[in-house]
Amino acid sequence: MIVDAAGRVDEARHVDSPNCDDRPGGGAISLLVIHNISLPPGQFGGDAIERLFTNELDPAAHPYFQTLAGVRVSAHFLIRRSGELVQFVPCVKRAWHAGASAWCGRAGCNDFSIGVELEGADDVPYAQAQYRLLAQLTRALRSAYPISDIVGHSEIAPARKTDPGASFDWARFRSSIG
């Protein structure tokens, strides 16, 4: 797996999200943030996540989607339960994944992080294929950028977020990335 100079991963399927912008100048990418997402909550598969990240989610398609009407969010990557890797935003751009957040006294984590969404839920074990691909992606990203910290969304926005949740096996993940 290779990250090119434009911040695109060769093994990913690319679906461009408009929900990104330029990173502020002078800041290195030093943080990897792991999230989870399922739409509707607790349901896997389908195209709702891609539709959300591309502003094409129909609020009338499911009652929960009404709560997301007008929301503009994205992540750099999505790892589906099958192990498929989807890239929405080039790493050199700022994806809108972290929201109000801070890490090590530094606010605005979107400015200096890469966001990876795992298709999942806090209380549902992640698939082996997801751990395998997340480890490969993490190694590739660490080769391309000076990533010094890897955290869950819950660690940078503890009052708002709980993902990737108790079902994420941090020890397994950390041992897989060396």
Classify 18 in phi/psi space as left (phi over 0), alpha (psi -120 to 50) or beta. alpha
- The amino acid sitting at 125 is P
The dihedral over CA atoms of 151, 157, 162, 165, expressed in degrees to the nearest 10, equals: 0
Tell me if residue 117 is catalytic: yes
3-state secondary structure 54-86: CCCCCCCCCHHHHHHCCCCCCCCEEECCCCCEE
Q: Among the options 11, 56, 117, 155, which is catalytic?
A: 117
Burial of 28 (0-12, 13-18, 19+ CB in 10 A): exposed
Q: Who contacts 121 (Cβ-Cβ below 8 Å, separation ≥6)?
A: 36, 38, 41, 42, 165, 167
Round to whole Å and give the CA distance between 20 and 17: 7
Residues annotated as catalytic are 117
